[in-house]
């Protein structure tokens, strides 16, 4: 599972699971919200090791410029673009307008939403 702990991955998975339909977040933003400043690479690793049964909205995670980080010729690149388009998130010039579509959780969402109760979240107890 890489060098990170299960607890680190769970925090990241719970954060990704909280991204609402029609919104996107960058790898770095997910890392910061999960408590890992400068954690963009950790987020990418967590996505790589995420169990399929979590059904994470992985397609809502983009690089800081609003581009898909997966190589253009990869089938997953096309799948990510299709999933985003189905949520009315357009690509213009190969990128998403992050100023318009970036997920900006408010204080209530951070304090009372799924991120606040990660031990009750989709990945089980943080004590495991």
**CATH classification code of 6-120:** 1.10.10.10
Is residue 27 pLDDT above 80, yes or no?
yes
| pTM: predicted TM-score of the whole model, two decimal places | 0.84
- Which of the four pLDDT bands, split at 50, 70 and 90, describes residue 2? low
Q: pLDDT for 28-62, tens place per residue?
A: 999 999 999 999 999 999 999 999 999 999 999 99
Domain boundaries, the chain: 6-120
Tell me how far the alpha carbon of residue 51 is from its chain's centroid. 14
**Is the pLDDT assigned to residue 76 strictly greater than 90?**
yes
Residue 8 has pLDDT above 70, yes or no: yes
Side-chain-facing half-sphere of 18: CA atoms under 13 Å: 27
pLDDT at 12: 95
**CA–CA gap between residue 56 and residue 112 (Å, rounded):** 20
Give me the mean pLDDT over the 116-124 stretch. 49
User: Has residue 122 got a pLDDT over 60?
Assistant: no
**Predicted confidence (pLDDT) at residue 3 exceeds the cutoff of 70:** no
pLDDT at residue 5 in the model: 86
Instruction: Give every CB contact of residue 84 below 8 A, 6+ residues apart in sequence.
Output: 24, 59, 60, 91, 96
Axis crossing angle, helix 40-49 with helix 6-17, rounded to the nearest 10: 90
Q: What is the pLDDT of residue 126?
A: 38
């Amino acid at each position: 599972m890489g060098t990170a702990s299960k607890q680190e991955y769970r925090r990241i998975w719970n954060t990704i699971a909280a991204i609402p339909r029609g919104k996107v977040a960058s790898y770095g933003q997910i890392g910061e919200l999960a408590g890992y400043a400068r954690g963009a690479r950790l987020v990418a690793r967590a996505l790589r090791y995420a169990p399929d049964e979590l059904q994470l909205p992985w397609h809502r995670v983009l690089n800081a410029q609003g581009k898909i980080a997966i190589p253009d010729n990869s089938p997953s690149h096309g799948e990510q673009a299709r999933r985003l388009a189905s949520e009315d998130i357009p690509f213009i010039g190969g990128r998403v307008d992050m100023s318009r579509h970036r997920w900006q959780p408010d204080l209530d969402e951070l304090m009372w939403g799924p991120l606040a109760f990660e031990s009750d979240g989709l990945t089980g107890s943080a004590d495991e």
